[in-house]
Chains A and B, each alone.
Chain A
Amino acid sequence: NAGVTQTPKFRILKIGQSMTLQCTQDMNHNYMYWYRQDPGMGLKLIYYSVGAGITDKGEVPNGYNVSRSTTEDFPLRLELAAPSQTSVYFCASSSLDRGKETQYFGPGTRLLVL
């Protein structure tokens, strides 16, 4: 299993540009998440999905959109990039083991908006 994969690894955007961060998992997990992590800060939840066709906002959803057409894929869309969206973006998926949720993370996408 590849686990959770993300592309691209790194991207530079100009203000106002748009892009899609890709996330795929091959563990057949229903739950998937997008987080951002700013330097020295904790992970902040942007959006999450409990299954194909179902998404919900997290703590910091403004400026982002998601879709979940399949169990495997959970892309994150930035429509009008702003410098405040410079961050590292992690996608994760989770399983339930003995009543505890364990999240598995992708390697991250580093985004710089200039």
Chain B
Amino acid sequence: RKEVEQDPGPFNVPEGATVAFNCTYSNSASQSFFWYRQDCRKEPKLLMSVYSSGNEDGRFTAQLNRASQYISLLIRDSKLSDSATYLCVAGTTDSWGKLQFGAGTQVVVTP
């Protein structure tokens, strides 16, 4: 079983709409969570950390549900430039160098 699982998508989203997707993690000891964005043929880049109480960064909202072991990402007012693959990442505080990356969820924003 993969440590971090994501729906690969693609999620096809009209411009201006809202899209949300989840990621599940299997290690209950995971303490740190992130969303990374990866554009086609580019390197992953940190989008946002995920905090226990949930957090927003502009049009992006991340939530953590420890009981069900999943995190979510919601994108409001989608822009064409939001088209990318979103990688879910989980790590434990004693596992430096062993962050677990999901395979990614592809989002395609259409005009």
Chain B minimum-CB-distance residue to A48: B97
A79 within 8 Å of B by Cβ?
A: no
A50 and B34 contacting across the interface, CB-CB below 8 Å: no
Q: Quote the shortest CB–CB distance from A22 to chain B (angstroms).
A: 15
Which segment, of B14-22, B41-49, B55-63, B71-79, faces chain A?
A: B41-49
| Further contacts, 12 of them, CB under 8 A, given A101-B32, A101-B99, A103-B46 | A35-B101, A40-B103, A42-B101, A42-B103, A42-B104, A43-B44, A43-B101, A48-B98, A94-B97, A99-B93, A108-B42, A108-B43
Residues of A within 8 A of B93 (CB): 99
A45 within 8 Å of B by Cβ?
A: yes
Task: Pick the most buried of A94, A101, A107: most chain B CB atoms within 10 A of its CB.
Answer: A101
Residues of A within 8 A of B98 (CB): 45, 48, 58
Residues of B within 8 A of A33 (CB): 97
A31 and B97 contacting across the interface, CB-CB below 8 Å: yes
Residues of B within 8 A of A31 (CB): 96-97
Nearest 5 Cβ contacts at the A-B interface = A48-B97, A105-B43, A42-B103, A43-B101, A100-B32
